[in-house]
Amino acid sequence: MNLEEMSEKIPEYKKPNILDYASKPLLRPTIRSSAADLLAEIAEEKGFKVDAPTCDYMGSTDNQALVRQAILDNYGQEEVDNYEPAVNVKPRTKWLQDHCVVKEGETALCFIHSYRDGAQVLVALFHEKQVELRL
């Protein structure tokens, strides 16, 4: 085989085009509830083992520890044992979506830091004992 025959078999070099990469989906098009879900999915795809449990709400174990401490201070160890992120403690807007309102005179259980649209905001969380069903 001579050099010309070899060059015909080698595919022509094509410069990579950014539009080729932009049209390919980087991640599966699914709805994710938090950044923690996204990171856990990527870690699973890459074969990494996630050692630390993540909080379902706001995606941070630090926030989960803060909420657990606030529940312990206000309601005791029994409520801490029953604590489930995104079920027992939510912001006012999430309770409203579940047809519940914060009882009159109740103050926030605790505040956590969150990032929305590139800005850091404080989110007030309320425990299920602080809300009542709205009729």
Task: Give residue limits of the domains in the chain.
Answer: 61-133
For residues 27 and 18, the model is more confident at: 18
Q: How far apart are CA 66 and CA 110, in angstroms?
A: 8
* pLDDT computed for residue 115 by the predictor: 72
20-75 pLDDT tens trace = 555 555 544 445 456 666 666 776 776 665 554 444 455 567 788 888 999 999 99
Average pLDDT estimate for 13-19: 57
**CB of 132 within 8 A of CB of 95?**
no
76-119 pLDDT tens trace = 999 999 988 778 888 888 899 889 999 999 999 998 877 777 77
Q: How far apart are CA 4 and CA 9, in angstroms?
A: 9
